[in-house]
Amino acid sequence: MTEIARLLAYDDWANRETLRSLGAAPAPAAIRRFAHILGAQRTWLNRITGGPPVAVWPEPDLAAFGGELDALLRLWHDVIRAEAPVRTVSYVNTKGQRLASTVRDILLHVVFHGAYHRGQIASDIRAHGGEPAYTDFIHATRGRHV
* pLDDT for position 25: 76
Where do the structural domains in the chain lie, given as residue ranges? 2-142
* pLDDT for position 146: 87
Bin 74: left if φ > 0, else alpha if -120 < ψ < 50, else beta: alpha
Q: Cα(125)–Cα(9) distance, rounded to whole angstroms? A: 23
Number of CB atoms found within 10 A of residue 72's CB: 21
* pLDDT for position 24: 83
Q: In the chain, which stretches have pLDDT less than 70?
A: 1
Q: Cα(78)–Cα(59) distance, rounded to whole angstroms? A: 26
CATH of region 2-142, choose from 1.10.150.530, 3.40.50.10740, 2.60.40.10, 1.20.120.450 = 1.20.120.450
* pLDDT for position 1: 67
* pLDDT for position 131: 93
Q: Which of 71, 74, 78, 43 is nearest to 57 (CA)?
A: 43
User: Residue 95, exposed/middle/buried by CB under 10 A (0-12, 13-18, 19+)?
Assistant: exposed
User: Residue 138, exposed/middle/buried by CB under 10 A (0-12, 13-18, 19+)?
Assistant: exposed
Q: Cα(49)–Cα(46) distance, rounded to whole angstroms? A: 5
* pLDDT for position 7: 95
